[in-house]
Structure 1
Amino acid sequence: MGIFGKDIRRNQNRAAYNNRGNDSTAGQDHPITPQLDTNLELIRSALGNSPDIVTRTVVNKRFSERPMGIIYIDGLVDMESIQWMMRESLLKTQGDTPVSAHPGDVYRFLLEETLAIGSVTELHSLEAIYSSLFEGNTVILLDGCEAAFSADTSGGSMRSVEEPSTQTVIRGPKEGFTENIRTNTSLLRRIIKSPSLRVQTQKIGAQTQTNVAVVYLEGVANDKVVNEIHRRLDRIETDSILESGYIEEFIQDATFTPFPTLMNTERPDSAAAAILEGQVVIIVDGTPFVLMAPVTFFKFFQSSEDYYQRYDLSSFLRLIRFASFLLSMLLPSLYIAITTFHQEMLPTTLLISLAAQREGVPFPALLEAMLMEITFEVLREAGVRMPRVIGPAISIVGALVLGQAAVQAGLVSAAMVIVVSFTAIANFVIPAINMAIAARLIRFMLMLLAATLGLFGIMSGLMILLIHMAGLRSFGIPYLMPVAPLVYRNLKDVFIRVPMWAMRRRPGLISDNTIRQGTHQRPSPPIKDGEDPKDKGS
């Protein structure tokens, strides 16, 4: 009975959400009336008679002087497209004999022969007109017709394609996503010129009506994953979607975990590479950060630049990232555990030096580390929130001044300043900012365990983290794949990257089509003197 009661309450809440508001006809489509003046008045009234709602009535003698209404939202449209459409289509008087005065004949003539703009859609309700106007289209109403046209004139001021500011590389494309969803999908289509690329768009958000696009490669992406993403997106019932982070929280697998189960990127080449690997990309209108799913833990340590450089250098840098991740989590807790419980592990000279530094420090190692870590977190957040001109200078100067002053005042030891500083630098090495934040959160938990149980507490915390990560899923894909479960053939691009010619297969659990390239991709030995190249090639 309890389960049925939950289902009934869920259905009641959904019905209340769909019928919320004071309008008793909420959720119903209002048809377009045959009277042009009535339609224009209804539209202006529904939009609050805002000054950016532009309406104009025009008459063309070829259409037996039947009036037409043109309506658009200033700032969302390209004015040159509107002027060209009116000059070349709606107000052009040259042509053959006049069209019949019957509204149906004029309607068909406008749709089939007159409107010269690229995309024209028929609308049959006032709600469809509102949605079309908010997308930057121009709506054309004809007196005597119970339908309207929507001409694609979207434009207005928007940010152009620029270099990504959060994910920079030394070698690689310099293009970044923008806040326009159509610009973002076009950037992906320029990279992946395949008819199998699928772009499926839907609107989410009762008030914002935000366009959300699901992009994947048919035949490569796992159909179960694609269907699961669509199912979770369809279940979202909210008033607003302002950024892809809203979508991430609604569709992620686990909420109470520090580890992200979706990945975001600002780079089209990273998103295209994910699509070619069998992942699904979710683009949200209004933000340059797109989501990629499903992901594994090891994906967060891969950078686009890994595939634009030689495999040996890329493998070395990737190992540095894994080492930096471990250091950013463990270094303060190891310092606390060793200096508090396991002094015998240190060389005598180092132990005497640390003891001399801590002689005048009034706080235990845990409080000393917490004080420095929280101070650095405050400085880092202040540097992000302050004006861009003075933010870096204040954060750097603040860290130097506060660190030196704290050591001279005897509040912290010099060794602790070194440990906290190196920990913060190691945290910046991680390519994915959400994984770097996860390391920062875990660091405080391990510091408390180290101050309580020493190295045994640190090992216990790491075991709990591994058990937790082994149980995580990202749209059905194990989070630690291909290490747990162990898939040997997928280890070629995890801790190190093998040469391109050796990565013949895609990750099997993510993609339905595992074959990436041919078998004979390995470079041939050099041609010897006197040897025929044709014989070498055969």
Structure 2
Amino acid sequence: MQDQAVSKKLDKNILWWKQQFSNCADIKMRPMCLGKNMNIRAFLSYIEVTGGKNMMEDSLLGKMLNRLNTMEDATLYEALKENGLGISDATPFAKMSEAASGMLTGDTILFVDGFDRALKIPDRGYPGMSLQETDSEKAIRGSNEGFGGSIKQNTALIRKRLRSVDLKVAECKCGRQTSTNVDLMYLNGIVRPEIVSEMQQRLNGFEIDGIGDSGVIEQLTETQWLSPFPQFQTTRRPDRVVMALLEGRGVLLADNSPEALIFPADYNSFIKTTDDYYTRWEIATFTRALRYVAAFLSMILPGLYLAMTNFHTQLLPTKLLLSFAAARQGVPFPGVVEVLLMELSFELLREAGVRLPGAMGNTIGIVGGLIIGQAAVDANIVSPMVVIVVAFTALCSFAIPNEDFATAFRLLKFAFIGLSAAFGFYGFLLGLLVLLIHLAQLESFGMPYLMPFVGADLNDYQDERDTLVRPPLQALPRRPFYANPKNRIRLRMKSRKGHRDAGS
């Protein structure tokens, strides 16, 4: 950021300020006049949600401005210079960059014509923990703050964590009748410009009556909408959004929606969580490997069970095969009917748990599953092994961090059940082949969906480090492939005896 000293000429300060905070719809700038004769020009700037509607009447800043409006010119400058109004937290800045940083902490900045200092005046600040807590994305470590329904508060929660003038907020309106505010956020210089341009083109590429949630925008801006895999990553966590912005990705926020859309997205990004980077690398690697295995099993386990028990029994140990046969004695239905009955029952219980309010919804999934499973086994409708397979499959799907991503595996599970029931292990392998071909050609904003498992050489194999294994942070000095190629280094370790520079 090009710096300059605060000038006595107000127009020069305003020009610098507007250049630095261009395309920032959440930064408010208000010209005004001060002094008894209202002949001293001034300029006020603040982040919208930190100022408040009643800023001029009730806040410390409002009272200060009212006092200044009763002073003569000479007295006014002296009061500003000597802090004659007795505002203990008012801070003068001699540099414009210092004033910008001061505003990004949540306070208000005042420039006065003829005064060579910028004053930071404390105000309401950023919204705090009372806003929202994330229920769908639990954190072991890190903040529990979550997005709410107000787009202004959501952008402020991101500003609170990312206090950089490079953070840009491009605002537009979607919906002929609703005129819903939509904010496109990105870090200038770190994001690839073509990604931002592509998102803006997609937003301009449709016209609709109204936007009730960001999910409408997600569906209208996806290019491969027949795919079950999401091409946007959704989150309600501000710290997850900040992490994505620092990686060089873009973020889309819609008013009245607590979900942020992160783009581009790839397979690996849906498996990772914020906790992976807040905890030690050993446990983060272990839990991430569990999620990869769980995602795979949640899709293939019922189909694999059918293929082995109905077609390829020679693959099973004799004792295990005899155990399966003994468990199925008296069951009147074929294996595929058993599996479908139990899978549909568990899906119904899951949906009922989502729709029921509060604690009742949490209880119905556990109690209902136990009661229905036990009753079905006692009535010889299904075998105990099928209940175990279906329950373990459901457990694996719960381990996937992103709900939209987990839904894709829940749907594909039924495709593998049908292929395995019809063609055995050959159908199972055919399903895997078709899935891999689809994932290989799937893209999100021009980025391969299987990155970095494909195209790892495009970033000197740096992205491959952060996949199945989460290495120590010192071994991750470069941003992922999403980022602008001119600005890939994100970590430089200061030289210490016995340590190398991680960013070199």
Give the structure-2-normalised TM-score.
Answer: 0.73
Counterpart-to-counterpart distance in 2, 1:521 and 1:308: 21
Change (3 A) 1:271 1:463: same
Amino acid at match of 2:236: E
Q: Residue 355 of structure 1 aligns with which residue?
A: 325
Q: Deviations over 1:207-260 (max 9, x none)?
A: 111110000001100000100001111122011111110110111121001101
Partner of residue 312 from structure 2, selected from 342, 346, 353: 342
Partner of residue 265 from structure 1, selected from 229, 232, 235: 235
1:370 equivalent to 2:343? Answer: no
Partner of residue 443 from structure 1, selected from 409, 413, 416: 413
1:500 equivalent to 2:470? Answer: no
Q: Deviations over 1:283-317 (max 9, x none)?
A: 11111110000111110000000000111111111
Q: Deviations over 1:379-422 (max 9, x none)?
A: 11001101213222222211111100100100000000000001
Amino acid at match of 1:288: P
Counterpart-to-counterpart distance in 1, 2:311 and 2:329: 17
1:509 Cα deviation from its structure 2 partner: 4.5
Q: Deviations over 1:361-384 (max 9, x none)?
A: 111111110000000000110011
- SS of the aligned residue for 1:359 comes to coil
Counterpart-to-counterpart distance in 1, 2:436 and 2:496: 40
Partner of residue 249 from structure 1, selected from 214, 219, 227: 219
Amino acid at match of 2:430: S
Q: Residue 48 of structure 2 aligns with which residue?
A: none
Q: Is the 8 A contact 2:249 2:482 kept in 1?
A: no
Q: Is the 8 A contact 1:269 1:304 kept in 2?
A: yes
Q: Is the 8 A contact 2:213 2:257 kept in 1?
A: yes
Counterpart-to-counterpart distance in 1, 2:146 and 2:481: 29
Change (3 A) 1:95 1:310: closer
Match runs of 1:526-537 below 5 Å: none
Match runs of 1:55-454 below 5 Å: 160-454=130-424
Amino acid at match of 1:264: T
Partner of residue 480 from structure 1, selected from 440, 450, 454: 450
Q: Is the 8 A contact 1:221 1:512 kept in 2?
A: no
1:83 Cα deviation from its structure 2 partner: 6.7
- SS of the aligned residue for 2:171 comes to strand
Counterpart-to-counterpart distance in 2, 1:310 and 1:167: 20
Q: Deviations over 1:472-505 (max 9, x none)?
A: 1101111111112233221011111111111111
1:322 Cα deviation from its structure 2 partner: 0.3
Q: Is the 8 A contact 1:280 1:294 kept in 2?
A: yes
Q: Is the 8 A contact 1:332 1:423 kept in 2?
A: yes
Structure 1, gaps ≥5 residues long? 1-76, 97-157, 527-538
Counterpart-to-counterpart distance in 2, 1:473 and 1:492: 21
1:159 Cα deviation from its structure 2 partner: 10
Counterpart-to-counterpart distance in 1, 2:495 and 2:309: 52
Counterpart-to-counterpart distance in 2, 1:260 and 1:522: 42
Counterpart-to-counterpart distance in 2, 1:512 and 1:234: 27
Change (3 A) 1:79 1:519: closer
Amino acid at match of 1:391: G
Q: Residue 489 of structure 2 aligns with which residue?
A: 516
Q: Is the 8 A contact 1:279 1:511 kept in 2?
A: no
Q: Is the 8 A contact 1:507 1:514 kept in 2?
A: no
Amino acid at match of 1:323: V
Q: Is the 8 A contact 1:506 1:513 kept in 2?
A: no
Change (3 A) 1:79 1:256: closer
Amino acid at match of 1:341: F
Amino acid at match of 1:301: I
- Greater mean alpha carbon deviation, residues 388-397 or residues 163-172: 388-397
Counterpart-to-counterpart distance in 2, 1:486 and 1:163: 37
Identity %: 41
Q: Residue 466 of structure 1 aligns with which residue?
A: 436
Counterpart-to-counterpart distance in 2, 1:358 and 1:191: 57
Amino acid at match of 1:204: C
1:81 Cα deviation from its structure 2 partner: 5.6
Counterpart-to-counterpart distance in 2, 1:266 and 1:244: 12
Counterpart-to-counterpart distance in 1, 2:211 and 2:318: 59
Counterpart-to-counterpart distance in 1, 2:445 and 2:56: 45
- SS of the aligned residue for 1:495 comes to coil
Give the structure-1-normalised TM-score.
Answer: 0.68
Amino acid at match of 1:249: Q
Amino acid at match of 1:507: P
Q: Is the 8 A contact 2:264 2:482 kept in 1?
A: no
Aligned-residue CA RMSD (Å): 3.0
Counterpart-to-counterpart distance in 1, 2:215 and 2:495: 42
Counterpart-to-counterpart distance in 1, 2:295 and 2:256: 32
Larger radius of gyration: 1
Counterpart-to-counterpart distance in 1, 2:488 and 2:497: 22
Change (3 A) 1:184 1:411: same
Q: Deviations over 1:313-363 (max 9, x none)?
A: 111111000000011001101110000001111111111111011121111
Q: Residue 491 of structure 1 aligns with which residue?
A: 464
Counterpart-to-counterpart distance in 1, 2:52 and 2:156: 19
Counterpart-to-counterpart distance in 2, 1:436 and 1:521: 41
Amino acid at match of 1:505: R
Amino acid at match of 2:179: Q
Q: Deviations over 1:90-145 (max 9, x none)?
A: x99x989xxxxxxxxxxxxxxxxxxxxxxxxxxxxxxxxxxxxxxxxxxxxxxxxx
Change (3 A) 1:463 1:521: farther
Counterpart-to-counterpart distance in 2, 1:166 and 1:248: 19
